[in-house]
Structure 1
């Protein structure tokens, strides 16, 4: 696979990044090294290798839920930069 300016620009658009000409050459080099590495892995014979489902055999150790003393709504909201009587107010992040 060839890494060209169109591919770098497409990736930058998808990632919402601004890439200048100097960065483009460095990114091209890095992407080409990554693709070469992945293609090299494709040459390995993995016919007798079982798929890896988990990285370790460790399991999660869960604790029992405990009812603890709670803070009141007023105490929870007192240090909030913006709030009304019931809720935190946060800036809108999704635009339609």
Structure 2
């Protein structure tokens, strides 16, 4: 996760282009923040007919007292949907406070 939260614009553009193959892209052993219930796990990205889906290992928790409801919801459900790629990128970058 750290790899995506702190990713450059060029890295995000490469990810966006890779999602045009209509497949789910799963990244193993992503580094989670120390406030998460596990140190590492999987993150997935998928371009859908309408928008994008962001996946994470389901059932994680976050002990950070200022964690947003959206973050906690994503961790609990394992999936978060976005209308466009920019919204997903903004969400991930908004998590820099966790690192």
Shorter-chain TM-score: which interval? Answer: under 0.3
Higher relative contact order (CA 8 A, sep 6+): 2
Using structure 1 for the length normalisation, give the TM-score. 0.27
Using structure 2 for the length normalisation, give the TM-score. 0.27
Where is the strand percentage greater, Structure 1 or Structure 2?
2
Over alpha carbons, which structure has the higher Rg? Answer: 1
